[in-house]
Amino acid sequence: MNNKIESTRRLLELQGFYGIQDSDLGKVDFGLRVSPVICATTVAIAAMTANAGIFWGLLPFALMGGLLSSHPFDVVYNHGLRHLIKGPRIPRYPAPRRFACLLASAFIIASALFIQTGAVITGQILGGILVATALIPIVSGFCVPSFIYRLATGKISFHWAVQA
């Protein structure tokens, strides 16, 4: 097995996605980056414009990603992009991936509340942290909230990251 396949599998398993065929790993990995791109872009716009309304508008989507078996923005991949690349559907969201969406929801709520109550810079900083955290899996495939979930539940050790 080549290093790219091993690395992609390891990063997807960190998020709780197991049993994906080698031939589908890259396409699923690509598909799982679509929702974070949409969310990060929306949060960046909300933070730059200090617009609490945009944060509140994004919140139901983030919450659905945390509470349901998939993210609403996965529709972009599942019903569009996957047909272009002839890829499989995105698998159901496991707990580590849903945790990431719930953590994002908490940052969205906090950002919106700070902006609404006049602590605009604090709200923008929290939004910026959320964008930075979303950019990591977009660029590398490593999901920080999934790693935190795994550490907190004892399903992974800190040494996992050192070996990656």
The pLDDT tens digits of the residues spanning 99-128 come to 999 999 999 999 999 999 999 999 999 999
In a domain, 89, yes or no: yes
The predicted pLDDT at position 16 comes to: 93
In a domain, 11, yes or no: no
In a domain, 10, yes or no: no
Binning pLDDT at 50, 70 and 90, where does residue 14 land?
A: very high
Residue 66, domain extent: 23-163
In a domain, 3, yes or no: no
**Mean per-residue pLDDT, 16-25:** 93
The percent of residues above 70 in pLDDT, for the chain, comes to 95
- Report the number of secondary-structure helices (H) and strands (E) in the chain: 9, 0
The predicted pLDDT at position 1 comes to: 56
How many C-beta atoms lie closer than 10 Å to residue 93's C-beta? Answer: 24
Q: pLDDT for 60-102, tens place per residue?
A: 999 999 999 999 999 999 999 999 999 999 999 999 999 999 9
The predicted pLDDT at position 11 comes to: 93
Residue with tokens 């539940």: 153
Binning pLDDT at 50, 70 and 90, where does residue 2 land?
A: confident
Number of domains in the chain: 1
The percent of residues above 90 in pLDDT, for the chain, comes to 90
In a domain, 143, yes or no: yes
Please state, in angstroms and rounded to a whole number, the distance separating the CA atoms of residues 64 and 85: 26
**Mean per-residue pLDDT, 119-143:** 97
Q: Could you tell me the pTM of the whole model? A: 0.90
Binning pLDDT at 50, 70 and 90, where does residue 163 land?
A: low
In a domain, 65, yes or no: yes
The residue among 141, 134, 138, 135 whose CA lies nearest residue 6 is 141
Q: Which helix (H) or strand (E) holds 163?
A: helix 159-163
In a domain, 131, yes or no: yes
In a domain, 4, yes or no: no
